[in-house]
Structure 1
Amino acid sequence: MYTLNFDTAEFISKYWQQKPIVIKNAFKAFEDPISADELAGLAMEEDISSRIVKTETDDWKVIQGPFEDYDEHGDDKWQLLVQAVNHWYPESQPLVEAFRFLPDWRFDDLMVSFATPQGGIGPHIDNYDVFLIQGEGERRWKVGHNGEHQCRGGDPSSPLVDDFEPIIDVVLSKGDMLYIPPGYPHCGETLSLAMSYSIGFRAPSQQELLTELADSLIDNSAGQHRFTSSEEAASHGLVSQTQQQGIMDLLAQLATDPAQYQTMLGKLLSQNRFELDINPFEAPISTTDVKEAIEDGANMQRIGGLKVLSLEADTQVQLYINGEVVCAAGIEQDIIAEIANNHLLTQSQLQNWLNDQQVMTVLTQLINQGWYYFSE
């Protein structure tokens, strides 16, 4: 059980997406949810995104996983980072749960790092919100102002930025936390063998929205309306300001019509950037099988990292799961909300739904897709 030791409402009001903050003792009696050896084991798996960052003279070298051995890296100046640990290691989910005071659609993943002394990743800027939680050991973090920062060495392809004047310079110990909004440069240096946890929250960019919208329009043969006007510019080669705006208003029309954007948006926001541990049934089971499992005492557990979303005032009754649409027609809104809000569907909930055929059909789909599994 991980309980945040600060006022989350005050945090959202004063700091969320506004400015960084250090929260000492953010978790009382913090315990690492995963050991260094278990993390190293995850980084050996092909499906799991991992990397080692080695600190060199005024530079950092990145080696992509998976990894078979770590001895060659020595006792200092490197760290192992594993993405989406919550997808593969269920014991880490309670730490993620502590941050559900923010909506699920924003949540990206739990990244875990094991770092040796002087290990770090160099000064960089993230385009998402991040909570950095310190486990075992100590790390020193510096955060700069969110102004203009040059790519390191003038190289536009570099993920790093030049050194900056810190507005925060702090050593984090077990249970401490640093929150950094998008756009603030930061860097960390390990002082002693350390486990650290990065909880990331991300929103779609304009580029991602337009790409997804274009794909949706093409897939549904929609968006066929063309620009028309009642007057034309006198100059042969001129596109008037009125016409420029009128053409671009075609996009604005799509963005204000829920029937055009809602399904696209639900699919986009429920997607994950990293692989999920999905294990669908080889031979699909029936709703009768699901009912029998529930009657025998089973709960239904969501796999790690899976996003299950609903849209307020949706023009269609749907759930959006892992970038796909699940029809929820005929299901009461409060039941849809329970499915979307709860990682675990308990016996008391499931027993109440046993005689609702539409609900049983959806639950059977969730099981057959490998998105949920029966648990005791």
Structure 2
Amino acid sequence: MVKELNISRIKTISLGDVTPKNFLRDYWQKQPLLVRNALPGFNGLLTREELMALACDGDAQSRLVIQRNGKWHLTHGPLSDHDLAKLPKKQWTLLVQDVNHFLAPARDLLSKFRFIPHTRLDDLMVSYAPKGGGIGPHFDSYDVFLLQGMGSRRWQISAQLDDEFIADAPLRILKNFQPEQEWVLNPGDMLYLPPKYAHNGIAVDDCMTYSIGFRAPSQQELITQFLVHLQDTILTDGWYSDPDLQWQSHPSKISAAMQSQVSSILKKINWERDDIEDFLGIYLSEPKSHVFFAQPAKPSSLRVFLKRIKENGVQLDLKSRMLSGRDKFFINGETVQVGADAYKILIELADNYELPPACEMDKETEEILYQWYVSGYILDNN
């Protein structure tokens, strides 16, 4: 692993002379921001070899992008040693998603962006490219902070509206990219880009870039998933009936009477604000389809577990997502209603990903934490 600064001791990422509040007001989803020395002393979290090993892990999501003879080639992981052994000397990029699921310092790095709610946070992607490597000019549909690790990368950006892509390319690469600004980022430098801002990153030398991405579901996805949520929560009685059915000269016609009755039935679909909170909590904390939790093979007893966490503290598993509501918590797609005392304790776990040793807790909190431990959602800090 790369020997570098202790990230856990740094409270937040530097935004230069811009405060987090002013950043959200003036830059977030509005315009790019270049920050020199955003994380002083940062040279990365892992080596090229460690990233390659992770790309071969069946639990990781990885991509290998190669540009050869003017054409782009894409290989999805898990990769093999054979894939990596035959790499060309230039014009390729290796990308690994969700590095925060595998590396504790990666989650520590994400925690430096707490001025943006956890509901928006997606993951940490790490990319490696030799000199000249990149994935071509493109748009992202989400907000991203591009933090430079080892080496240097030249970033070109554009607010262009032309979104025509290269035909038949396996990636959505812009055909007519017209850069308007460009900078070379060195270790610790960072570039924020709002959604739909065209950009192109080219490695000046062998380099690694750490991309902190923030999820932005489409309106169509939100509507679709909310309707799925309502399907599981709405119960209604009765059946469609038509005792006054009239003869039709065209039996294939959908009658006005049927449409009217079905319209009345569909008006029974309604929801309250609590339904929206429950939906968002479950939807946004739901693990991605490839994520699984390892339950302890031989779980400790409740007594032993409580003794350990009082001595060592407790933390969320690196893959866990935990959000809070008004009187409940959402963890990995599950909802837990809690009392006031438990809420005061568990909100710290949700906010900070961990609870300190010797934390006083009531019986309800103890039982909830033990159940999460058995499910593989949390770990003690030993």
2:377 alignment partner in structure 1: 371
Percent identity of paired positions between Structure 1 and Structure 2: 33
Cα deviation 1:93-142 (Å, max 9, x = unaligned):
22212112211111100000111111111121111101111111111111
Maintained 8 Å contact 1:88/1:276: no
Question: Which amino acid in the other structure matches residue 144 of structure 2?
Answer: V
* Residue 59 to residue 22, structure 1, CA distance change in 2 (3 Å): farther
Q: Equivalents in 2 of 1:375, 1:274: separation in Å? A: 27
Maintained 8 Å contact 2:342/2:364: no
The answer to whether 1:102 aligns with 2:116 is yes
Maintained 8 Å contact 1:145/1:185: yes
The answer to whether 1:111 aligns with 2:121 is no
Q: Equivalents in 2 of 1:132, 1:280: separation in Å? A: 34
Question: Which amino acid in the other structure matches residue 105 of structure 2?
Answer: E
Q: Equivalents in 1 of 2:37, 2:268: separation in Å? A: 48
Q: Equivalents in 2 of 1:343, 1:336: separation in Å? A: 10
Superposition deviation, residue 146 in structure 1? 5.0
The answer to whether 1:40 aligns with 2:49 is no
Aligned match for 1:5, one of 14, 27, 33: 14
Maintained 8 Å contact 1:51/1:81: yes
Maintained 8 Å contact 1:124/1:186: yes
Q: Equivalents in 2 of 1:251, 1:55: separation in Å? A: 55
Question: Which amino acid in the other structure matches residue 33 of structure 2?
Answer: I
Maintained 8 Å contact 1:54/1:77: yes
SS in 2 for 1:319: strand
Superposition deviation, residue 238 in structure 1? 12
Maintained 8 Å contact 1:267/1:322: yes
Give the root-mean-square deviation of aligned CA atoms.
Answer: 2.9
2:26 alignment partner in structure 1: 14
Maintained 8 Å contact 2:315/2:349: no
User: What are structure 2's unaligned runs of at least 5 residues?
Assistant: 1-6, 240-252
Aligned match for 1:55, one of 39, 64, 67: 67
* Residue 197 to residue 341, structure 1, CA distance change in 2 (3 Å): same
Superposition deviation, residue 358 in structure 1? 0.6
Aligned match for 2:228, one of 206, 215, 239: 215
Q: Equivalents in 1 of 2:32, 2:69: separation in Å? A: 29
1:186 alignment partner in structure 2: 199
* Residue 159 to residue 225, structure 1, CA distance change in 2 (3 Å): farther
Cα deviation 1:299-327 (Å, max 9, x = unaligned):
11211142211124xxxx32101112223
SS in 2 for 1:192: coil
Q: Equivalents in 2 of 1:225, 1:304: separation in Å? A: 46
Question: Which amino acid in the other structure matches residue 5 of structure 1?
Answer: S
User: What are structure 1's unaligned runs of at least 5 residues?
Assistant: 227-235
1:289 alignment partner in structure 2: 304
Cα deviation 1:145-204 (Å, max 9, x = unaligned):
152411223x69852222322222121111111111111121111110001100000133
2:188 alignment partner in structure 1: 175
Superposition deviation, residue 53 in structure 1? 0.6
Q: Equivalents in 2 of 1:128, 1:375: separation in Å? A: 33
Maintained 8 Å contact 2:62/2:96: yes
Maintained 8 Å contact 1:310/1:337: yes
The answer to whether 1:23 aligns with 2:35 is yes
TM-score (norm 1): 0.84
Q: Equivalents in 2 of 1:104, 1:158: separation in Å? A: 29
Superposition deviation, residue 289 in structure 1? 2.9
* Residue 339 to residue 95, structure 1, CA distance change in 2 (3 Å): closer
Q: Equivalents in 1 of 2:296, 2:338: separation in Å? A: 21
Question: Which amino acid in the other structure matches residue 368 of structure 2?
Answer: V
* Residue 357 to residue 171, structure 1, CA distance change in 2 (3 Å): same
Maintained 8 Å contact 1:330/1:358: no
Q: Equivalents in 2 of 1:25, 1:251: separation in Å? A: 56
Deviates more, 1:20-29 or 1:188-197: 20-29
SS in 2 for 1:169: strand
Q: Equivalents in 2 of 1:64, 1:175: separation in Å? A: 29
* Residue 286 to residue 328, structure 1, CA distance change in 2 (3 Å): farther
Q: Equivalents in 2 of 1:325, 1:49: separation in Å? A: 27
Deviates more, 1:122-131 or 1:217-226: 217-226
* Residue 23 to residue 166, structure 1, CA distance change in 2 (3 Å): same
Q: Equivalents in 2 of 1:166, 1:207: separation in Å? A: 31
Deviates more, 1:264-273 or 1:132-141: 264-273
Q: Equivalents in 1 of 2:269, 2:176: separation in Å? A: 41
2:246 alignment partner in structure 1: none
Superposition deviation, residue 362 in structure 1? 0.6
Maintained 8 Å contact 2:101/2:318: yes
2:344 alignment partner in structure 1: 334
Q: Equivalents in 1 of 2:236, 2:194: separation in Å? A: 36
Q: Equivalents in 2 of 1:358, 1:207: separation in Å? A: 39
Maintained 8 Å contact 2:91/2:130: yes
Aligned residues, how many? Answer: 351
SS in 1 for 2:180: strand
Q: Equivalents in 1 of 2:332, 2:342: separation in Å? A: 22
TM-score (norm 2): 0.83
Maintained 8 Å contact 1:49/1:274: no
2:149 alignment partner in structure 1: 135
SS in 2 for 1:364: helix
1:231 alignment partner in structure 2: none
Superposition deviation, residue 330 in structure 1? 5.8
SS in 1 for 2:147: strand
